[in-house]
Structure 1
Amino acid sequence: MENRKFERYSRQMLFAPIGSEGQKKLASKKVLIVGMGALGTVLANHFVRAGVGHVRFADRDYVEQSNLQRQMLFDESDVSESLPKAVAAENKLRKINSDVIVEGVVTDVTTATIDELMSGVDLVVDGTDNFQTRFLMNDACFKAGIPFVYGGAVSSRGMSGMFIPGKTPCLRCFINHGDTSGQTCDTIGVIAPVVDIVASFQAIEALKYLVGDQRAERKSLLTFDVWNYHMFEMKYKKSKESCPTCSLGEYPALEEDDSDTMTSLCGRETVQIQMGQPLELDEWAEKLKGVATVQKTPFLLRAELPEGERLVLFPDGRTLVQGTEDVTRAKTLYARYIGL
């Protein structure tokens, strides 16, 4: 029975650094992917096909037409059904490998949710598109002693590195909070090949760690441009003495109160509002149908407003105000139709 179970991994097990023992180790491991967009879909596909025993991922968004160019687990039916990315990805991945526990969670990753999402995992992998969440993962991982696999892709450029508490510096030693460029896929674009390459570099380092091949671990932050074929490797040195996370143990991202927030999602003409209270979609469909064009799915409620903007409500209490990046305008519409 066990031989038949592992038959699908036969070619992977012929690779000496993994072998049969490594494959058994993978089957016993649990990983968390934060973000199920471009990077996240490639990462999850690699981990599930490789036989990692439990693959959990969290994402707050739903599938849109513009995602299909690079987010490999989604198709046009997911767009037409307005499926949350975590749900659509789980549907696909369960069909790929029934021996793996695939767990998609529709939620925003915040200080209020990160601990529960990380419960029992062996490592956390970055599939996000913003540094606020990356610093949160970095700090939560170093506080909990869990490795964090960072990755980023924009335009034709990519970056990846694995940070291990007590063994390597952390993300803050290389990138200061507030020093990021602000460039995103929604402002300057991205090509799909760079996404696949970044996620594959992340997956490789994750697999090395999960099978215990410490000798092969890459101890560097890798950056590259696939269009212009540039590559640069920053070798890890000691942690910065002034680093609040891995030297001082202060974990600043965990101290931030992000339970009630209004965030402009750069380049997407969208403001996310999180007021901390769950939303009953059936109830809000009834309330809004007299003043807006309403479309409800089991996962979200979309309301086209007469002003031209759109509200997208989620059961966990989040609302997207689409059609504006002006936080004041979004707050006005939210107060008008949902209330503050």
Structure 2
Amino acid sequence: MSERYSRQERFAPIGKEGQAALMDKHAFIVGAGALGSANAEMLARAGVGNITIIDRDYIEWSNLGRQQLYTEEDAASMRTKAKAAEQKLKSINSSIRVRGMIQEFNAENAEDLLEGVDILIDGTDNFRTRLVINDATSKRRVPWVYGGCLQSYGLVLSIIPGETPCLQCLIDYIPDQGGTCDTVGIIGPAVQTTAAYQTAECLKFLTGHPMSPEMVSFDVWGRNYSSINVSKLIDTACPSCSKEAVYPYLNKEKGLKSDRLCGRNTVHIRPAHSINLSFPLLTKDLETITSKVKESGEILSFQIEEKRFVVFKDGRTLIHGTDDVKEAKELYQRYIKA
């Protein structure tokens, strides 16, 4: 075991002292998809002592081309990404603490989840969640590393509350590439390059080195690279990080919540409050109207006509086969009754 981190310790900026410091740190990763799983594996192998990874989704066959922690068996079993990631990371490094959380990172739980966290890594695929991350980290004074990738492009930015501009300050400077991975695709090298920059920034901070003030963007297919120093772009009237900050994205929604999953013809429904569904009772009710009910222990799925439902124990449900929010809410209330 003494040899485990020897090559990393020989890297002068980390050394033995930096390696020892890593074991006392807590990295929190939002999203266990492509970026999240790549960052999580590198941090686990690097010896970061406490890793939490949170994700609301399950593993599909289309994930396997770029989400490196998962296998065909995971996809066939429709395992949740958070728990599959937790199991894999523990098998990679049994000397660290790993926790996979099957839930959404949102305005209701963000501040509590950041308690005791040293740094947050963005592994999400939507800007709404990133803005929640931005407000929560700003309010809690937790540094984080933004990462985005699509097609063959990637972008990375380190944010330190109170020292650098936040994501809201830079909203007009971040390019809108258009589309999603589901609509315009992505290649693995774009994921790996983005994650490599993110993990490097994370290791810098956790071992006492300054993170880069530059926003880096690149195209691994076209072999293009650019960077811009954003340190002077702080908005003194920013609603998310100024002295008068109101943290607009931490406002809690009331009632049944929903959002469309772009490019997937799917609506994500969330109950007003987190609950603990009884899968056996729900299965009993559903079996009177459909024979297509499956339960993996972590999630329950069933199909009624052209709609496929994937239900999580906290009541969250993905309704595939529609992008009509009103219809999805009606279906949820009819069949889930949470």
Same fold (TM over 0.5): yes
Among candidates 314, 317, 337, match of residue 316 of structure 1: 314
Q: Is the 8 A contact 2:31 2:53 kept in 1?
A: yes
Q: Is the 8 A contact 1:281 1:315 kept in 2?
A: yes
Distance 2:318 2:173 in 1: 25
Comparing 20-29 and 173-182, the one that deviates more: 173-182
Alignment of 1:9 onto 2:2 = no
User: Residues 222 and 288 of structure 1: is their aligned pair in 2 closer, same or farther, counting only changes over 3 Å?
Assistant: same
Q: Partner letter of residue 48 of structure 2?
A: V
Q: Is the 8 A contact 1:110 1:259 kept in 2?
A: no
Give how far 1:179 is off.
8.8
User: Residues 207 and 259 of structure 1: is their aligned pair in 2 closer, same or farther, counting only changes over 3 Å?
Assistant: farther
Residues 229-248 of structure 1 aligned to structure 2 (within 5 Å): 229-236=223-230, 237-247=232-242, 248=244
Q: Which has the higher helix share?
A: 1
Alignment of 1:299 onto 2:298 = yes
Q: Partner letter of residue 131 of structure 1?
A: F
Give how far 1:127 is off.
0.3
Among candidates 270, 275, 281, match of residue 279 of structure 2: 281
Unpaired segments of 5 or more residues in structure 1?
A: none
Q: Partner letter of residue 314 of structure 1?
A: F
Aligned counterpart, 1:338: 336
Aligned counterpart, 1:125: 121
User: Residues 253 and 327 of structure 1: is their aligned pair in 2 closer, same or farther, counting only changes over 3 Å?
Assistant: same
Q: Is the 8 A contact 2:69 2:85 kept in 1?
A: yes
Alignment of 1:26 onto 2:22 = yes
Alignment of 1:218 onto 2:212 = yes
Structure 1 stretches of 4+ with a deviation exceeding 3 A read 176-182
Distance 2:246 2:144 in 1: 17
Distance 2:336 2:174 in 1: 32
User: Residues 251 and 107 of structure 1: is their aligned pair in 2 closer, same or farther, counting only changes over 3 Å?
Assistant: same
User: Residues 28 and 166 of structure 1: is their aligned pair in 2 closer, same or farther, counting only changes over 3 Å?
Assistant: same
Aligned-pair identity in percent equals 44
Distance 2:267 2:71 in 1: 25
Q: Is the 8 A contact 2:169 2:233 kept in 1?
A: no
Q: Partner letter of residue 78 of structure 1?
A: D
Alignment of 1:87 onto 2:83 = yes
Q: Is the 8 A contact 1:111 1:258 kept in 2?
A: no
Aligned counterpart, 1:49: 45
User: Residues 177 and 14 of structure 1: is their aligned pair in 2 closer, same or farther, counting only changes over 3 Å?
Assistant: closer
Distance 1:226 1:14 in 2: 29
Give how far 1:338 is off.
2.5
Q: Partner letter of residue 226 of structure 2?
A: F
Give how far 1:259 is off.
6.6
Q: TM-score, normalised by structure 1?
A: 0.94
Alignment of 1:71 onto 2:79 = no
Give how far 1:280 is off.
1.7
Q: Partner letter of residue 241 of structure 2?
A: C
Q: Partner letter of residue 249 of structure 2?
A: A
Give how far 1:172 is off.
1.0
Aligned counterpart, 1:263: 259
Q: Is the 8 A contact 2:28 2:121 kept in 1?
A: yes
Distance 2:254 2:223 in 1: 39
**DSSP 3-state at the match of 1:8:** coil
User: Residues 277 and 43 of structure 1: is their aligned pair in 2 closer, same or farther, counting only changes over 3 Å?
Assistant: closer
**DSSP 3-state at the match of 1:7:** coil
Distance 2:173 2:234 in 1: 16
**DSSP 3-state at the match of 2:136:** helix
Q: Is the 8 A contact 1:150 1:161 kept in 2?
A: yes
Q: Is the 8 A contact 1:131 1:180 kept in 2?
A: no
Q: Is the 8 A contact 1:110 1:258 kept in 2?
A: no
Distance 1:284 1:78 in 2: 24
Give how far 1:331 is off.
2.2
Give how far 1:116 is off.
2.6
Matched pairs, number: 333
Aligned counterpart, 1:100: 96
Distance 1:258 1:197 in 2: 39
Unpaired segments of 5 or more residues in structure 2?
A: none
Distance 2:264 2:174 in 1: 20
Distance 1:176 1:84 in 2: 35
Alignment of 1:162 onto 2:161 = no
Give how far 1:256 is off.
4.2
Distance 2:221 2:178 in 1: 21
Q: Partner letter of residue 240 of structure 2?
A: T
